[in-house]
Structure 1
Amino acid sequence: MKVSTSHRNKGALDPKNFPYSDITFVCKHYGKPRIRGVNERPRQSYFASGCNVKLRLVYVEAMNNYKVTVLSTEHNHPISSQAFGWYPENRRLEDSELKQVEDLLQLNVDIRNIKNFVSEKTGKTVISKDIHNIKKNLDNKMSKGRSEGQKVVDRLLKLQQDDPNATTVVEMSSDDEFELLFFQTSNMKLLYNQYPDVLFIDGTYKVNIEGYPLYAFLIEDGEGKGRAVGYAFVKNEKKDTIHKLFDHVGAKNDLNKVKIVFLDKDFTEISAVKRSMQNAHIMLCTFHVLKYLKKKVSDLDIRKNLKSDIMKAISSLVYSYSEEIYRERLTELLKLSPKSFSSYFTDNWDSCREMWAHCYRKSLPTLGNNTNNRVESHNQKLKHIWDGHVI
Structure 2
Amino acid sequence: MSDSSVISSPSENNPRSDNDLVYPTNTEENDLKDSYPAFSEFEAAFKQYQRDTFQTFVVRRSESLGKTHPKADTLKYKKIEYECVHHKDYEKKGQGERIFTHSRKQKCPAIVKVAASIREATVRITKKEVGHNHPLTEERWKGLPENRRLSTTEADKVVSMQKSFVPTKAIQREMAKQTGKAVTSKDIINIRTKHDKVERGGRTEEEMVNHILNEIRRKDAGVFIDIVVSDAQKVTNITIITSEMQKNFNENYSLAFLDGTYKLNVENYCLYAVVVQDRHGHGRPVALGFMSSEKAAHVDAFFNAFKACHKT
Same fold (TM over 0.5): no
Q: Which has the higher helix share?
A: 1
- Normalising by the smaller structure, the TM-score range is 0.3 to 0.5
